[in-house]
Amino acid sequence: MSTADGSDRDATATGLYRHADLAPGSVLAGRFRIESMLGVGGMGVVYRATDLALDIQVALKLLRPELMHRPDAFERFRQELLLARQVSSPHVVRIHDLAQHEGRWLISMDFVDGESLDRRLDRDGPFAVDTALRIARQLAEGLRAAHAKGVVHRDLKPANVLLDAQGNAYISDFGVARSLASSGLTQSGAVIGTPDYLSPEQARGEALDARSDLYALGLILYEMLTGKLPFAGGTVSEVLAQRLLRTPPPVTSLRAELPAWIARLVDKLLRPQPAHRFKDAAAVIAALDAKAVPRDGYREGGRAARMRWLGAA
Protein backbone atom coordinates (compact mmCIF):
# COMPACT_ATOMS: atom_id res chain seq x y z
CA MET A 1 0.00 0.00 0.00
CA SER A 2 1.21 3.53 -0.75
CA THR A 3 0.88 5.87 2.19
CA ALA A 4 2.22 9.00 3.72
CA ASP A 5 -0.46 9.42 6.31
CA GLY A 6 0.67 8.88 9.88
CA SER A 7 -3.04 8.27 10.52
CA ASP A 8 -4.21 7.10 13.90
CA ARG A 9 -4.72 3.39 14.56
CA ASP A 10 -8.33 3.84 15.60
CA ALA A 11 -9.36 5.70 12.44
CA THR A 12 -12.09 3.53 10.97
CA ALA A 13 -12.98 3.30 7.31
CA THR A 14 -16.16 5.22 8.06
CA GLY A 15 -14.18 7.99 9.71
CA LEU A 16 -11.75 8.16 6.82
CA TYR A 17 -14.33 8.43 4.08
CA ARG A 18 -16.36 10.94 6.03
CA HIS A 19 -13.47 13.36 5.48
CA ALA A 20 -12.72 12.35 1.89
CA ASP A 21 -14.35 15.33 0.23
CA LEU A 22 -11.84 15.76 -2.59
CA ALA A 23 -12.49 13.58 -5.62
CA PRO A 24 -9.61 12.08 -7.64
CA GLY A 25 -8.69 14.45 -10.45
CA SER A 26 -9.40 17.59 -8.42
CA VAL A 27 -6.66 20.20 -8.79
CA LEU A 28 -5.75 22.27 -5.74
CA ALA A 29 -3.98 25.62 -5.74
CA GLY A 30 -3.66 25.28 -9.51
CA ARG A 31 -0.87 22.80 -8.97
CA PHE A 32 -1.76 19.61 -7.08
CA ARG A 33 -3.94 16.92 -8.69
CA ILE A 34 -5.57 14.59 -6.18
CA GLU A 35 -5.00 10.89 -6.89
CA SER A 36 -6.38 9.18 -3.77
CA MET A 37 -6.93 9.64 -0.06
CA LEU A 38 -4.36 8.09 2.24
CA GLY A 39 -5.64 8.71 5.75
CA VAL A 40 -6.76 11.05 8.52
CA GLY A 41 -4.55 12.24 11.35
CA GLY A 42 -5.25 14.45 14.33
CA MET A 43 -4.83 17.67 12.38
CA GLY A 44 -5.52 16.88 8.75
CA VAL A 45 -6.60 14.68 5.90
CA VAL A 46 -3.77 13.27 3.77
CA TYR A 47 -3.98 12.63 0.02
CA ARG A 48 -1.63 11.28 -2.59
CA ALA A 49 -1.30 13.89 -5.33
CA THR A 50 0.73 14.84 -8.38
CA ASP A 51 2.63 18.12 -8.26
CA LEU A 52 1.90 19.28 -11.82
CA ALA A 53 4.64 21.91 -11.73
CA LEU A 54 7.36 19.37 -10.92
CA ASP A 55 5.68 16.21 -12.25
CA ILE A 56 6.32 14.28 -9.04
CA GLN A 57 4.17 12.39 -6.56
CA VAL A 58 3.63 14.18 -3.26
CA ALA A 59 1.53 13.79 -0.15
CA LEU A 60 -0.84 16.64 0.71
CA LYS A 61 -2.06 17.26 4.24
CA LEU A 62 -5.13 19.47 4.39
CA LEU A 63 -6.35 21.07 7.57
CA ARG A 64 -9.53 19.26 8.51
CA PRO A 65 -12.65 21.27 7.55
CA GLU A 66 -14.07 21.42 11.06
CA LEU A 67 -10.84 23.04 12.30
CA MET A 68 -10.72 25.74 9.64
CA HIS A 69 -12.08 28.44 11.90
CA ARG A 70 -9.93 27.58 14.90
CA PRO A 71 -6.87 29.88 14.97
CA ASP A 72 -4.99 27.48 17.25
CA ALA A 73 -5.51 24.61 14.81
CA PHE A 74 -4.22 26.61 11.88
CA GLU A 75 -1.24 27.82 13.89
CA ARG A 76 -0.28 24.24 14.71
CA PHE A 77 -0.72 23.29 11.08
CA ARG A 78 1.56 26.17 10.04
CA GLN A 79 4.01 25.25 12.78
CA GLU A 80 4.31 21.73 11.35
CA LEU A 81 5.73 23.25 8.19
CA LEU A 82 8.03 25.76 9.86
CA LEU A 83 9.52 23.25 12.29
CA ALA A 84 9.82 20.29 9.96
CA ARG A 85 11.50 22.42 7.29
CA GLN A 86 14.31 23.10 9.76
CA VAL A 87 15.09 19.40 10.01
CA SER A 88 17.26 17.80 7.35
CA SER A 89 17.63 14.04 7.56
CA PRO A 90 17.20 11.05 5.23
CA HIS A 91 14.85 9.68 7.90
CA VAL A 92 12.48 12.62 8.28
CA VAL A 93 9.69 13.24 5.77
CA ARG A 94 10.70 16.40 3.90
CA ILE A 95 8.20 19.27 3.78
CA HIS A 96 7.93 21.13 0.48
CA ASP A 97 5.47 24.00 0.73
CA LEU A 98 2.46 25.63 2.35
CA ALA A 99 -0.37 26.59 0.00
CA GLN A 100 -4.02 27.60 0.09
CA HIS A 101 -6.95 26.44 -1.98
CA GLU A 102 -10.41 28.00 -1.69
CA GLY A 103 -9.78 28.97 1.90
CA ARG A 104 -8.24 25.63 2.89
CA TRP A 105 -4.60 25.34 3.83
CA LEU A 106 -2.42 22.42 2.81
CA ILE A 107 1.14 21.19 3.20
CA SER A 108 2.92 19.34 0.42
CA MET A 109 5.55 16.82 1.43
CA ASP A 110 7.49 13.81 0.23
CA PHE A 111 5.35 10.86 -0.75
CA VAL A 112 6.62 7.67 0.88
CA ASP A 113 5.67 4.63 -1.15
CA GLY A 114 5.03 2.04 1.53
CA GLU A 115 3.02 1.87 4.74
CA SER A 116 3.01 3.08 8.31
CA LEU A 117 4.84 1.16 11.01
CA ASP A 118 1.66 0.58 12.98
CA ARG A 119 0.07 -1.19 10.03
CA ARG A 120 3.14 -3.35 9.60
CA LEU A 121 3.06 -4.27 13.30
CA ASP A 122 -0.65 -5.02 13.20
CA ARG A 123 -0.14 -7.33 10.23
CA ASP A 124 3.18 -9.01 10.98
CA GLY A 125 3.61 -8.87 14.74
CA PRO A 126 7.15 -8.90 16.23
CA PHE A 127 9.99 -8.09 13.84
CA ALA A 128 13.21 -9.92 13.28
CA VAL A 129 15.79 -8.52 15.69
CA ASP A 130 17.99 -7.02 12.97
CA THR A 131 14.98 -5.34 11.36
CA ALA A 132 13.81 -3.82 14.64
CA LEU A 133 17.28 -2.52 15.47
CA ARG A 134 17.78 -1.09 11.97
CA ILE A 135 14.49 0.81 12.15
CA ALA A 136 15.31 2.02 15.67
CA ARG A 137 18.66 3.32 14.48
CA GLN A 138 17.08 5.16 11.56
CA LEU A 139 14.53 6.74 13.88
CA ALA A 140 17.35 7.78 16.20
CA GLU A 141 19.10 9.38 13.22
CA GLY A 142 15.97 11.37 12.43
CA LEU A 143 15.59 12.42 16.06
CA ARG A 144 19.24 13.46 16.26
CA ALA A 145 18.71 15.81 13.30
CA ALA A 146 15.51 17.23 14.81
CA HIS A 147 16.97 17.70 18.26
CA ALA A 148 20.00 19.45 16.79
CA LYS A 149 17.55 22.12 15.63
CA GLY A 150 15.89 22.28 19.01
CA VAL A 151 12.79 20.47 17.79
CA VAL A 152 11.09 17.83 19.93
CA HIS A 153 8.51 15.71 18.12
CA ARG A 154 6.32 15.06 21.21
CA ASP A 155 4.07 12.57 19.39
CA LEU A 156 6.43 9.91 18.08
CA LYS A 157 4.48 6.66 17.56
CA PRO A 158 4.25 3.87 14.96
CA ALA A 159 1.46 5.72 13.10
CA ASN A 160 3.91 8.60 12.56
CA VAL A 161 6.64 6.32 11.20
CA LEU A 162 6.50 5.46 7.50
CA LEU A 163 8.30 2.48 5.95
CA ASP A 164 9.16 2.47 2.26
CA ALA A 165 9.29 -0.60 0.03
CA GLN A 166 12.87 -1.29 1.14
CA GLY A 167 11.94 -1.08 4.82
CA ASN A 168 13.59 2.28 5.46
CA ALA A 169 11.95 4.39 8.16
CA TYR A 170 10.87 8.03 8.02
CA ILE A 171 9.50 10.17 10.84
CA SER A 172 6.43 12.16 9.82
CA ASP A 173 3.98 14.62 11.35
CA PHE A 174 5.68 17.25 13.41
CA GLY A 175 2.21 18.74 13.91
CA VAL A 176 2.44 18.90 17.68
CA ALA A 177 6.19 19.41 17.85
CA ARG A 178 7.46 22.58 19.42
CA SER A 179 10.80 24.29 19.18
CA LEU A 180 12.61 24.37 22.52
CA ALA A 181 13.59 27.93 21.67
CA SER A 182 10.01 29.20 21.34
CA SER A 183 7.24 29.81 23.81
CA GLY A 184 5.01 27.47 21.80
CA LEU A 185 1.26 27.23 21.65
CA THR A 186 0.56 25.14 24.72
CA GLN A 187 0.43 26.29 28.30
CA SER A 188 2.37 24.77 31.15
CA GLY A 189 0.65 21.64 32.39
CA ALA A 190 -0.97 20.81 29.05
CA VAL A 191 -0.63 17.19 27.91
CA ILE A 192 -0.09 16.71 24.17
CA GLY A 193 0.53 13.42 22.42
CA THR A 194 -0.94 9.94 22.11
CA PRO A 195 -1.51 8.24 25.52
CA ASP A 196 0.04 4.89 24.50
CA TYR A 197 3.35 6.61 23.69
CA LEU A 198 3.57 9.39 26.30
CA SER A 199 6.71 9.73 28.38
CA PRO A 200 6.22 9.98 32.16
CA GLU A 201 7.08 13.68 32.19
CA GLN A 202 4.69 14.26 29.31
CA ALA A 203 1.90 12.48 31.20
CA ARG A 204 2.56 14.80 34.13
CA GLY A 205 2.31 17.89 31.90
CA GLU A 206 5.89 18.89 32.66
CA ALA A 207 8.42 20.64 30.45
CA LEU A 208 9.88 18.31 27.81
CA ASP A 209 13.24 17.94 26.17
CA ALA A 210 14.74 15.55 23.62
CA ARG A 211 14.77 12.68 26.12
CA SER A 212 10.97 12.50 25.94
CA ASP A 213 11.29 11.45 22.29
CA LEU A 214 13.85 8.84 23.36
CA TYR A 215 11.29 7.35 25.73
CA ALA A 216 8.83 7.07 22.83
CA LEU A 217 11.58 5.45 20.77
CA GLY A 218 12.01 2.90 23.56
CA LEU A 219 8.30 2.12 23.51
CA ILE A 220 8.38 1.63 19.74
CA LEU A 221 11.46 -0.62 19.94
CA TYR A 222 9.83 -2.67 22.71
CA GLU A 223 6.75 -3.12 20.53
CA MET A 224 8.79 -4.07 17.45
CA LEU A 225 10.69 -6.70 19.43
CA THR A 226 7.77 -8.21 21.35
CA GLY A 227 4.64 -7.33 19.39
CA LYS A 228 3.24 -5.77 22.55
CA LEU A 229 3.24 -2.40 24.24
CA PRO A 230 4.75 -2.38 27.73
CA PHE A 231 2.31 -1.62 30.52
CA ALA A 232 -0.57 -2.81 28.32
CA GLY A 233 -3.85 -3.58 30.02
CA GLY A 234 -5.90 -1.57 32.47
CA THR A 235 -7.21 1.93 32.03
CA VAL A 236 -5.19 4.74 30.48
CA SER A 237 -4.69 6.23 33.95
CA GLU A 238 -3.43 2.91 35.33
CA VAL A 239 -0.98 2.45 32.45
CA LEU A 240 0.36 5.99 32.81
CA ALA A 241 0.71 5.54 36.57
CA GLN A 242 2.89 2.48 36.01
CA ARG A 243 5.20 4.52 33.78
CA LEU A 244 5.70 7.05 36.54
CA LEU A 245 6.97 4.34 38.86
CA ARG A 246 9.11 1.89 36.93
CA THR A 247 10.48 0.53 33.72
CA PRO A 248 8.42 -2.25 32.09
CA PRO A 249 9.25 -5.96 32.33
CA PRO A 250 12.43 -6.61 30.33
CA VAL A 251 11.99 -7.52 26.68
CA THR A 252 13.75 -10.79 27.46
CA SER A 253 10.74 -11.80 29.59
CA LEU A 254 8.75 -11.98 26.34
CA ARG A 255 11.57 -12.94 23.99
CA ALA A 256 14.17 -14.92 25.88
CA GLU A 257 16.66 -15.23 23.01
CA LEU A 258 17.38 -11.51 22.86
CA PRO A 259 20.94 -10.53 23.83
CA ALA A 260 21.36 -8.90 27.23
CA TRP A 261 22.63 -5.65 25.69
CA ILE A 262 19.31 -5.16 23.86
CA ALA A 263 17.44 -5.60 27.13
CA ARG A 264 19.71 -2.96 28.71
CA LEU A 265 19.20 -0.65 25.71
CA VAL A 266 15.41 -0.80 25.98
CA ASP A 267 15.55 -0.51 29.76
CA LYS A 268 17.66 2.64 29.57
CA LEU A 269 15.38 4.24 27.00
CA LEU A 270 12.37 3.57 29.24
CA ARG A 271 13.64 4.91 32.57
CA PRO A 272 10.96 6.97 34.34
CA GLN A 273 13.38 9.80 35.07
CA PRO A 274 14.85 11.55 32.00
CA ALA A 275 18.23 11.90 33.74
CA HIS A 276 18.56 8.11 33.83
CA ARG A 277 18.01 7.67 30.08
CA PHE A 278 20.51 8.11 27.28
CA LYS A 279 21.60 11.72 27.17
CA ASP A 280 20.72 12.13 23.50
CA ALA A 281 19.95 10.32 20.25
CA ALA A 282 23.65 10.20 19.35
CA ALA A 283 24.28 8.07 22.45
CA VAL A 284 21.53 5.68 21.36
CA ILE A 285 23.10 5.36 17.91
CA ALA A 286 26.52 4.71 19.49
CA ALA A 287 25.05 1.93 21.65
CA LEU A 288 23.33 0.34 18.66
CA ASP A 289 26.51 0.44 16.61
CA ALA A 290 28.66 -0.94 19.41
CA LYS A 291 26.00 -3.51 20.42
CA ALA A 292 26.80 -2.61 23.98
CA VAL A 293 25.16 -0.60 26.74
CA PRO A 294 27.46 0.09 29.70
CA ARG A 295 26.05 -0.76 33.10
CA ASP A 296 25.52 2.53 34.89
CA GLY A 297 24.75 1.33 38.38
CA TYR A 298 21.14 2.54 38.20
CA ARG A 299 18.72 0.22 39.89
CA GLU A 300 14.96 0.62 39.70
CA GLY A 301 12.73 -0.19 42.64
CA GLY A 302 12.34 0.51 46.28
CA ARG A 303 9.52 2.51 47.84
CA ALA A 304 11.77 5.41 48.84
CA ALA A 305 13.09 5.81 45.29
CA ARG A 306 9.60 5.70 43.84
CA MET A 307 8.32 8.25 46.34
CA ARG A 308 11.22 10.59 45.55
CA TRP A 309 10.33 10.35 41.83
CA LEU A 310 6.70 11.13 42.61
CA GLY A 311 7.73 14.05 44.80
CA ALA A 312 6.27 12.44 47.90
CA ALA A 313 9.48 12.00 49.88
pLDDT digits (tens, 9 = 90+) for 175-194: 656 555 554 444 444 445 56
Asked if residue 4 has pLDDT above 50, the reply is: no
Asked if residue 163 has pLDDT above 80, the reply is: yes
| Annotated catalytic residue, options 5, 118, 155, 196 | 155
Q: Give span(s): CATH 3.30.200.20, the chain.
A: 13-110
Secondary structure string (H, E, C) spanning the chain: CCCCCCCCCCCCHHHHHHCCCCCCCCEECCCEEEEEEEEECCCEEEEEEEECCCCEEEEEEEECHHHCCCHHHHHHHHHHHHHHCCCCCCCECCEEEEEEECCEEEEEEECCCEEEHHHHHHHHCCCCHHHHHHHHHHHHHHHHHHHHCCEECCCCCHHHEEEECCCCEEECCCCCCEECCCCCCCCCCCCCCCHHHCCHHHHCCCCCCHHHHHHHHHHHHHHHHHCCCCCCCCCHHHHHHHHHHCCCCCHHHCCCCCCHHHHHHHHHHCCCCHHHCCCCHHHHHHHHHHCCCCCCCCCCCCHHHHHHHHCCC
| pLDDT at res. 301 | 43
| pLDDT at res. 108 | 92
| pLDDT at res. 183 | 40
- Dmax over Cα atoms in the chain, in whole Å? 64
Asked if residue 25 has pLDDT above 80, the reply is: yes
Asked if residue 27 has pLDDT above 60, the reply is: yes
Q: Give span(s): CATH 1.10.510.10, the chain.
A: 114-310
Task: Categorize the per-residue pLDDT at 238 as very low, low, confident or very high, splitting at 50, 70 and 90.
Answer: confident
pLDDT digits (tens, 9 = 90+) for 275-294: 999 999 999 999 999 999 97
Choose among 38, 221, 217, 56: nearest CA to 115.
38
Average pLDDT over residues 92-97: 90
Which CATH code is given to the segment(s) 13-110?
A: 3.30.200.20
Q: CB neighbours of 171 closer than 8 A, spacing ≥ 6?
A: 91, 92, 93, 139, 142, 143, 146, 153, 156, 160, 161
Is residue 51 part of the annotated active site? The answer reads: no
pLDDT digits (tens, 9 = 90+) for 100-111: 898 888 889 999
CATH 3.90.190.10 holds for 114-310 = no
| pLDDT at res. 297 | 55
